Structure 1
């Protein structure tokens, strides 16, 4: 009996403790239902909701994080006050989120761990798995690859994966595997990531998941980095199909750009341009994308346009985007500089191209995030290629080596291959033949690797297809061997016929190709010879043209000198003449000769020996007349002239007309030597030149008849106007106004 009591005592203690626990839970439930506690719970939920609004506010700033922190602190204090673990650890989770936003990663991980430990302790496996997964996603979003949290990224996803398997949450399990594959992709473990993603696609299709197109995007990136562009294009197009089928247009622009990227790598420029245009067109409807994506599309689209020689279209496009959506980030500015550099290269403006390339590199250096490593690598490759084309080998080599200075698996094999080929050219040019051989071997190995990997995958796919067809044939053979045998014989005969026909066709095509090649070579040699002859003739013509220009300049120079000699002779003659009228006639002749000589002086001193800028000529003529008549400040000249150009045939009569009109105004408009104004106007409108010489003097006599005047000056003006094929009007208008207009074939500047 005593033994039985010994066994009953522990059982009794267990029942007592169980009852106490039950009573405690009932009391806690009653406390929760207490009006005061319920009010506190409502307040906590309101505080958490307010904090979440500030934390997840789009384009949030420090002031928003401070506001979120304020609400979470109040929620935590109130949760501690009522002793509610659920809300305490929910607040810890949000503290972790703030840590990531503030880039205080130690703080973020600490609070995430507190929340995870609580969910683990309270057996809330789903919440534990979701928090672990969210922590993994958050760490994956850190752009610095050297951050110590990166090492634990896969571990958090793996722990979440185990819990999802226990809970039987298949979709979340598959999504977690996809997240792990994404991490491996960013670490450069491309083969491992590809195998994981293929498994993810298979599993998603089994459960009928509709968001598989995002996984196709990751497979596209992997195959593009590996150099398998055909397969990358296949996945990119499947991604677009999936996006359209599910109407998931949030990233529509991005999906189109992925297809464009692959056509660009394959060298199918027109299709690449088509898809980049679609990406740009749909950019505004994709609210999840930033300006980085916009400028990435702009960069590649303009590059493709320049490749197909649509330089002006590329220039207009980049200025339109710059005007409507100016660059915001260092990346945007770097890409815009890159686009400008490509445009300047296309128009052979290498000086400005170099400035833009260096500007691009300066902006990239300011970006500290490792996520841009691949872009910086491509930028270095681009600048290196530029300097190689300019034969600046040392500069080119520096940039090309820097383009290769990235972790394995980050840069695309096609870009590494291109860098090695360019370095081979540099080493060859510098005489470093051993280094050149190594570079070429690297290039060849990568080139063969890209080809062989692509070929191997295609062979595997053909083999799988063949095995499937073979099994189907075996099944049919079991049911109807005779039919299969005859079918096989027919197929064999057809195959032989195809082979024989193919061989004949191959021989015919080979002969035609050889003939075409021979004809093309012959044509090329002929064209090369003709090109040389044309170049020689052009050089001779250019030489003759230069000689003609120098001869014309010499003629104008000699004419000007001869006119100066005549003026000097007239000046000498005036010293021996006592007649005032004769002196005036000599002076007038000197002025006219100067007006003509000034024309020839302008012609031989200008680069353009056939045209004269009349505004400059008129200013020099006025300066001469002011000095000749010793006007000082007694007459003010007002100019209203545009940049009209005239040839020699028209400029000489115009110069003489101006000389006569201005000389008459100086001599006769202001008889009392008071202050006066002479206005000179010169305009060209739609091939018609308008000249106005107007003074503020006493005007013409009332009985003055311009048509019947005997004045030599007025006769000259009239005759020269007719020589120009123009009209001349002389009238009183608060002084004398002379208006002349004539037709000219030369446009004003």
Structure 2
């Protein structure tokens, strides 16, 4: 609290007397702390500084107060003469004022005690005691000093003067008179000190029984004082306990409030984080949906473009076939006519591929259906008297256009070859398509014709059709082979990987 006051006062203009006075009053507490902790060097330095400031603003009361506080450091150091000198200075300062300060009683008490302790100052002490007794408002605080002085010094003419001043004939009457005064209005602690000092003085002067009575009274008053102090302290500690409990309760409430605030803040933060993540998730989901829709849109557009492309390719093939048919009708050379028909068949097989692409979704050709349609078309183009017995042994298979086009050309060549050269007495044709494993397939076309002259005829084939079959088989990462076992059989092992 004092530190806060010091910082607060230091903000203002230090040249103002009121501010300087406030700074002195605040710093005075630091001086008291130095006294309690016996920080003699620091205390003396601070006291000198504060006394100079009090002189600067001509505040005699503050000068006396600071001088008295600083004088207590001389007690710690055992400097009796310096103590008396400072006490005399405070005494002089107080007497310079038109009205005594509140510190005058304390100053007189300190000065008289010091002079009594030093000794050989009887006249000076008596003068100060009489001055003390001349002030009605403070004289009761100085009566016990008479007893202390008489206890310290042997009977003398000063003793007689004191008895005369109080109009008594002996020490017992003096003690009784002062006792009556203290019983009416004296400070309790001073009264206890008086009784204790009086008990000693009476016993030293032959009043043994009376001294014992005073001592018993001192003990009784002391018990009252400490009992009262104890009660006050107990009441004080009870109040402090209640205040402490109240403070603890307030602190607990503050802690709970702070805890609730923290919890509320954390809940709010978690809520914000949750909202953020929900927003991010929703946004991400929205973006994914938008991207998915965009992809689907592009896929749809791609599909439409592919259909349009296949449609145009098919139309172009049909146009080419139409032109070739016109050209074939004008041909007279049979060899050229055969070559043109073979070429037309090959183009037709590719046209069927694109026709199928127009009719399906996904860009995959259902190849077993394609083979059947192609065989039917080739059969119509060759007007045979006896329809061949065609056996289809086809596993359901779908291929993309990269596989379907070369494979369709191979099928076209082998079927066309069978219709042109292959049929025997039974007029039999067997077409097989088998899946060997995940990516391996086997295509075979067999007829009951006489077949090739020998096996080497296929390996060294010079005809365009057979060479095309071998070339296209290689394109499919496969191999074409030929065998004859009652039927001429061409086999294509290929991969779609």
Quickly name the TM-score band, shorter chain normalised: 0.3 to 0.5
| Greater length-normalized contact order (CA 8 Å, ≥ 6 residues apart) | 2
**TM-score, normalised relative to structure 2:** 0.47
TM-score by length of 1: 0.32
Q: Which has the larger radius of gyration?
A: 2
